[in-house]
Chains A and B, each alone.
Chain A
Amino acid sequence: EIVLTQSPDFQSVTPKEKVTITCRASQSIGDGLHWYQQKPDQSPKLLIKYASQSLSGVPSRFSGSGSGTDFTLTINSLEAEDAATYYCHQSTNLPWTFGQGTKVEIK
């Protein structure tokens, strides 16, 4: 099973600050890495697909990068509505797995 390890587990950030979340895979997964945002008491929302591909309706301050084993989600100029837990997910190998999540809190 491919293990995805996110860092940090928790981040407290002031508005307009830049946020960087990393996701490391236990083996190479190419670009089969996707990012989700889950706000409290809500279902997850797809933010980025295939490591760096943006999605319609997702604010442009969200971007992704990486390939192989190391990936990054960047939130430029954090807004209050971005308070959430962020998960990476790999679609390359069964069983399809998620990272443990990174909780972003607004100071």
Chain B
Amino acid sequence: DGGITQSPKYLFRKEGQNVTLSCEQNLNHDAMYWYRQDPGQGLRLIYYSQIVNDFQKGDIAEGYSVSREKKESFPLTVTSAQKNPTAFYLCASSSRQGPYEQYFGPGTRLTVT
């Protein structure tokens, strides 16, 4: 079955700690994305990558970092510099040159106290 996996489903951390969220896809997509979803707000783009070893900041990249060493994997690190890290994080992937629909993983809910 092709798809996107995210782990873990729930994550709890103390303030001041960095945390890494996993995202893996086997859809053979070149492009991958990280979004943050907060109640009452649309999905906001954190980072995206269109090819291995290359990534760009999205609209809300401050306090986050990513890497793209393999086509299948795009981990997101939430650093201690992110002021409001508690949120629902979604990873997605798509073809780089169209069609552009993005396919999403099940999400990781991060709670920082």
Whether both chains belong to one complex is answered with no
